[in-house]
Structure 1
Amino acid sequence: MTSSTLRLNFPMWQGGANPVYHFGSELLSWLAPATNGPSETVDVAFNHTDESANSVADENGIKGRAQILKQIDHCRTLIDKHQPDSLVVLGGDCLVDLAPFAYLSERYGDKLGVLWVDAHPDIMTSAQFNHSHATVLAALMGVGDSDLTGFVKAPIAASKVMYAGVNNESEYEANFLIEHAMQVCRPDEIRDGSSAAKIGQWIKDQGIEVLAIHLDLDVLDASKFGPLLFNRPDVAADAFEGIAQGQLTIEEVLQVIQQATAHTKTVGMGIAEHLPWDALRLRNMMRALPLLGD
């Protein structure tokens, strides 16, 4: 039976090689408004008693390859069980959107556009980086490791993708965007409002009728929003030097999403990369308290 909207709780953390993504996904699922439709949770290997035991090894260029593939396969099984018209995905690292967006591409074909709200373009391959959360959009385009692209039966054309918030790309990333003629709304364009016309023209030119939105929370300015990788409390101040960081506010993110959804029907919404450091520290403190932690 076809369901209107399937909600997927997907606490994958191996794609970013950081077990805190698992807790971040669980907290997102708790924070999210209640759903009237079906909800499923993807099986994700995790040691709940000792997060330090959750390390993952490099397997031929991808950390935790076997675990990741098993999780993506289970995610697709859950989607096929419901065959929904639309999907909400609460992650987890960015790789959680691979199977859901691949499914939407199969279902809607050329009518589908993808709004990728992120500080990073996520178009690396295992040749550049062994954290597969940075490869998800390339895989959706049919580029990269065959174990990942194998889940994508209908690759998404570069012209059907609009980035929002990407900045300070690496040389490899910048060249990829140029070679594939990919469109980007930069943070300044979102702030000054010129993104509205750019997004509207993209939707018109590409004949986009339905939209899948990927929201990586690291598109947000880390000085204005706390639960992000760049606010990790146990690393040196310069630990993330040279890595692009988000420059948007929550209001600006909502603005650019509203600019896109004003012209289309939304059929996919994925939220990823939630790292609630303070909530984690409080949880760990409570585990050590008398009576609570016994």
Structure 2
Amino acid sequence: MTSTTLRVNMPQWQGGDEPAYRFGAELLRWLAPPHDGPEETVAVPRPDGSAPPLDQGIKWRDALLAQARAARAAIERHDPDRIVTLGGDCLVDLAPIGWLSRKYGDRLGVLWIDAHPDVMSAAEFSHAHAHVLGMLLGRGDADFTAEVPVKLAAPRVMIAGMQGWNEAEAPILKELGLRHIPATDLAETSQPVLDWIAREGITHLAVHFDLDVLDPSHFSPLLFNRPDAATDAFAGIEQGRMRLEQVVRLLKDVSAAADMVGLAITEHLPWDMLRLRNALAELPIMKA
């Protein structure tokens, strides 16, 4: 039987309330290798400069919920064995991992490669991209968690590359019982993650790769390198410490240890390319 890999393009920006996520997702789609299988693009409204509506403590809640449901419907049309998702903010992984959890059940493990745990809810933070892993585990907004009929089990989730967390996240991590491996432990080896895969008997693996796990001094298209940000804009927010080649090595190693059935790449913010695009749009000859 032929295995199907669905590619989902989801230029969602409202989860982080950052319009530049849309451009980052569009450029990521162009950068990705050619794909011969089925492909879906989730319709996401373009930013128009309007203020974000706040509903039940979540910015852009209605739009985000509609987009999550559209992504789920797109996936269900294809019944894929594997899903590659190109985002967009981190919330784009709600529908893909929700689908994979339903399809593979307790055979599935989730490797969350991220500088942050993404386990908060509206009670702690209004940006839903910081809620997504919690939602997949059953914590948070009821309408979003309902989109995940088979919730993840904490032992089959590993957060990789997270070096620290904030005061709000600490009790949630303890409550959920989530394990994590810091970037320093993965600098030279993938063994801690491979040990987890073996210990839990994981045969199928979904990977969430938030680019902000990368060290902003070595990888530029990240939120923390926003050129117009105030000097203290990211004070108190944990920044990534991994290098791209370390993450690539980790992904290759885990692919050899389990069937990678999901990969989402998120939070690509190519600030210089965005500046160049906007600059070119100002030139009269380009409009002729």
Tell me, yes or no, whether TM beats 0.5: yes
Cα contact 1:122–1:134 (8 A) shared by 2: yes
C-alpha distance in structure 2 between counterparts of 1:254 and 1:246, whole Å: 15
Say what the alpha-carbon RMSD is for the aligned residues: 1.5
Q: Where in structure 2 are the equivalents of 1:252-291 lying within 5 Å?
A: 252-291=246-285
Aligned partner letter, 1:32? A
User: Is 1:78 aligned to residue 98 of structure 2?
Assistant: no
Shift of 1:112: 0.2
1:183 is matched with: 179
- How many pairs align? 288
Cα shift readout 1:42-79 (whole Å, capped 9, x = no counterpart): 010114xxx5x254221120100111111111101100
C-alpha distance in structure 2 between counterparts of 1:180 and 1:130, whole Å: 20
2:199 is matched with: 205
Aligned partner letter, 1:6? L
TM-score of the two chains, using structure 1 as the length reference: 0.95
SS of the residue corresponding to residue 202 of structure 1 reads helix
Cα contact 2:188–2:246 (8 A) shared by 1: no
Aligned partner letter, 2:81? D
SS of the residue corresponding to residue 122 of structure 2 reads coil
Cα shift readout 1:131-169 (whole Å, capped 9, x = no counterpart): 000000000001111011010100001101111111220
Shift of 1:259: 2.9
C-alpha distance in structure 2 between counterparts of 1:181 and 1:125, whole Å: 16
User: Is 1:237 aligned to residue 231 of structure 2?
Assistant: yes
User: Is 1:94 aligned to residue 90 of structure 2?
Assistant: yes
SS of the residue corresponding to residue 291 of structure 1 reads helix
2:115 is matched with: 119
Aligned partner letter, 1:219? V
2:55 is matched with: 59
Shift of 1:256: 2.1
User: Is 1:147 aligned to residue 149 of structure 2?
Assistant: no
Indicate how the Cα distance of structure 1 residues 45 and 59 shifts in structure 2: closer, same or farther if over 3 A, else same: same
2:155 to 141, 156, 159: 159
Cα contact 2:115–2:162 (8 A) shared by 1: yes
C-alpha distance in structure 2 between counterparts of 1:103 and 1:54, whole Å: 32
Indicate how the Cα distance of structure 1 residues 20 and 286 shifts in structure 2: closer, same or farther if over 3 A, else same: same
2:219 is matched with: 225
Aligned partner letter, 2:30? W
Cα shift readout 1:230-288 (whole Å, capped 9, x = no counterpart): 01111112110100000010011112222322210100000000011000000001101
Shift of 1:183: 1.8
Q: Structure 2: state its 5+ residue gaps.
A: none
Indicate how the Cα distance of structure 1 residues 107 and 191 shifts in structure 2: closer, same or farther if over 3 A, else same: same
State the 4+ residue runs in structure 1 displaced beyond 4 angstroms.
none
C-alpha distance in structure 2 between counterparts of 1:104 and 1:86, whole Å: 8
Aligned partner letter, 1:147? D
Q: Structure 1: state its 5+ residue gaps.
A: none
Aligned partner letter, 1:7? R
1:22 is matched with: 22
Indicate how the Cα distance of structure 1 residues 33 and 192 shifts in structure 2: closer, same or farther if over 3 A, else same: closer
SS of the residue corresponding to residue 261 of structure 1 reads helix
Shift of 1:2: 8.0
Shift of 1:202: 1.3
Cα contact 2:216–2:222 (8 A) shared by 1: yes
Taking every aligned residue pair, what percent have the same amino acid on both sides? 50
C-alpha distance in structure 1 between counterparts of 2:228 and 2:287, whole Å: 23
C-alpha distance in structure 1 between counterparts of 2:287 and 2:242, whole Å: 39
Shift of 1:28: 0.3
Aligned partner letter, 1:145? D
Aligned partner letter, 1:119? A
Shift of 1:36: 0.7
TM-score of the two chains, using structure 2 as the length reference: 0.96
